[in-house]
A and B are shown apart, each in its own frame.
Chain A
Amino acid sequence: MNAPTYNFAYLDEQTKRMIRRAILKAIAIPGYQVPFASREMPMPYGWGTGGVQVTAAILGPKDVLKVIDQGSDDTTNAISIRKFFAKTAGVETTTSTDAATVIQTRHRIPEAPLRAGQVLVYQVPIPEPLRFLEPRETETRRMHALAEYGLMHVKLYEDIARFGHIATSYAYPVKVNARYVMDPSPTPKFDNPKMDNCPALQLFGAGREKRIYAIPPYTPVVSLDFEDHPFTRYKFDAPCALCGAEESYLDEIVTDDKGSRMFVCSDTDYCEGRQAAGHRGVESAAPHKEAANG
């Protein structure tokens, strides 16, 4: 039985061109949300249809693809997308950040520094950072056009008034190239500094909302804050229980039904790489607490 044949990377060439034009425009106007004719994909919205279309449009036969979901290479979603492109494009896939040329991600930026020539593709559920306070699309577009961003600080103000500090810990708004305010997708704010002046190209695809935006390599990306409440990345109280890493983003893992927990790197490739290099953690649960990293 012959397997069905797909066009390279599933999408037809006209569609890929359309998406590439949107990507080029997005790169030309860093942080600006470019509308595009998002297609139906063979997966439900919320599973990364925007990211998959962007990946499909940029993938070439020689690319090496890595897909992560919350930092992990081995969740159902990550594996499915990797298999999808292995099947429809026949490209090589990997779990190694270093070996990959294209990395599609949901909600994390790898711990290992990215390099020039790599492309990071984000899956984005809600691309509009102003949506929290302004429900009208016509109005948010006008606000972007006129760079009226006072409203973003209203949100941060509310955080401080309510919690004593800026409690927004993911989808933390950034200003790209000193012009557009952008939602970095629901990545933890821990990852925000990695976006700044990054050597890799960062592309964002929102399938349901039909928007693509981009941060070209080496673009300044600044997290919004107040003078007297500056942006802080948080630091975990204890290192990774498996590899002992002190500067990585940790996930909480419940280990039994008595409430025992352990904290391990969310970036599985990074963690495995460190363990292979001989680093060890204590395998004991550390309390998860946020503290300003002064």
Chain B
Amino acid sequence: MVEVTGASDQPLLVAEGLTKSYGRLAACRDVSFVLYPGEVLAIVGESGSGKSTLLQMLSAQLAPSGGRVSYRMRDGVLRDLAELGEAERRFLFRTDWGYVHQDPAQGLRMAVSAGANVGERLMAVGWNNYGRIRQTASSWLERVEIDVARIDDAPRTYSGGMRQRLQIARNLVTEPRLVFMDEPTGGLDVSVQARLLDLMRSLVNELGLAAIVVTHDLAVARLLSHRVMVMKEGRVIETGLTDQVLDDPREPYTQLLVSSILPA
């Protein structure tokens, strides 16, 4: 079992004063935080609160108007993402990072088999043995509870929950240290959500993954995250231990969010 947080005093990712403006509209204002290895941070807020913009900046898909994001590379050096070359950034994206999209069709190749979807990252880093790639893909399908008999089927024949689990396997196969998740359970039935959350929780624990999860669903935040950041109108208005923020919310807006959820 991997030690979850506190294992390392070296931050994995550091965000400093992140700001994104579109003309006079500030989508994200002055966001700073530090993420440690193995730590799961939930970013919660309503649509339009700036959480998706923030996630895009954190994952180097969107250049900030101000501030910066630094990431500790596998060699231990903390690097400003804006200074990475495109090749380095893309390499990071398919090795040390994962990105789970809300819509699995965005994160999967819908027309190629599940096995190839999982194997793609391995082939991208030079794996050249079909048997080993397939074996690794099979074991990942098992880990995400997909019947290995479906390995040669394309995800367009899968249910929504299976697609999302496949997307997770595709991301985790290179053993990333940080996974970004954008509303990972959005659009799924409640029963399917529960199973997916449970699976993500155990994978995150077993692999000692750090994760940044954007969600408007506080139940997702409670089940998955150690820490939570509440966003409103582009600003972080409250942050702290997840159970503390959810059980003892301080800000008016957070109290409103918490009071809006139905009791489990």
Contact = CB atoms under 8 A, between A and B. Distances in A.
Do A's and B's CB atoms come within 8 Å in the complex?
yes
Interface of A: 133, 142, 146, 148-151, 153-154, 157-158, 160-162, 226-229
B84 interface: no
A21 to B, nearest CB: 28
Interface string B105-119: 000010111011001
5 contacts: A146-B90, A154-B109, A161-B115, A227-B129, A228-B131
B87 A153 contact: no
A151 B109 CA distance: 11
Nearest to B86: A146
B109 A133 contact: yes
Given A133-B112, A161-B134, A150 B125 contact: yes
B146 to A, nearest CB: 15
Q: Nearest 4 pairs between A and B by C-beta?
A: A150-B124, A153-B123, A226-B130, A150-B123
B76 to A, nearest CB: 24
A160 B87 CA distance: 30
Contacts of A157: 113, 115-116, 119, 123, 130, 133-134
Contacts of A149: 124
Interface string B81-117: 0000011001000100000000000000101110110
A133 B112 CA distance: 9
B130 A229 contact: yes
A149 B87 CA distance: 13
Contacts of B113: 157-158, 161-162
A146 B115 contact: no
What secondary structure prevails in chain A residues at the interface with B? helix
B152 A161 contact: yes
Contacts of B120: 150-151, 154
B90 A227 contact: no
A225 to B, nearest CB: 8
What secondary structure prevails in chain B residues at the interface with A? helix
Contacts of A160: 130
Contacts of B20: none
A157 B113 CA distance: 9
Contacts of A229: 130
Contacts of A161: 113, 115-116, 134, 151-152
Contacts of A151: 120, 123-124
A146 B122 CA distance: 17
Contacts of B122: 150
A181 to B, nearest CB: 13
A77 to B, nearest CB: 33
A274 B59 CA distance: 64
Contacts of B216: none
A226 B90 CA distance: 24
Contacts of B111: 133
A160 B113 CA distance: 11
B128 interface: yes
A133 B110 CA distance: 10
A162 B134 CA distance: 13
Interface in B119-173: 119-125, 128-131, 133-134, 151-152
Contacts of A148: 90, 124
Contacts of B109: 133, 154
A162 B152 contact: yes
B261 to A, nearest CB: 40
A150 B121 contact: yes
Given A146-B86, A150-B123, A154-B109, A226 B128 contact: yes
Q: Which of A148, A158, A160, A227 has most chain B Cβ within 10 Å?
A: A158
A157 B119 CA distance: 9
B116 A228 contact: no
Contacts of B152: 161-162
B129 A228 contact: yes
B180 to A, nearest CB: 20
A154 B122 CA distance: 10
Nearest to B152: A161
A227 B126 CA distance: 11
A149 B240 CA distance: 43
Contacts of A146: 86-87, 90
Nearest to A152: B123
A227 B123 CA distance: 12
Q: Which of B109, B112, B130 has most chain A Cβ within 10 Å?
A: B130
Nearest to A166: B130
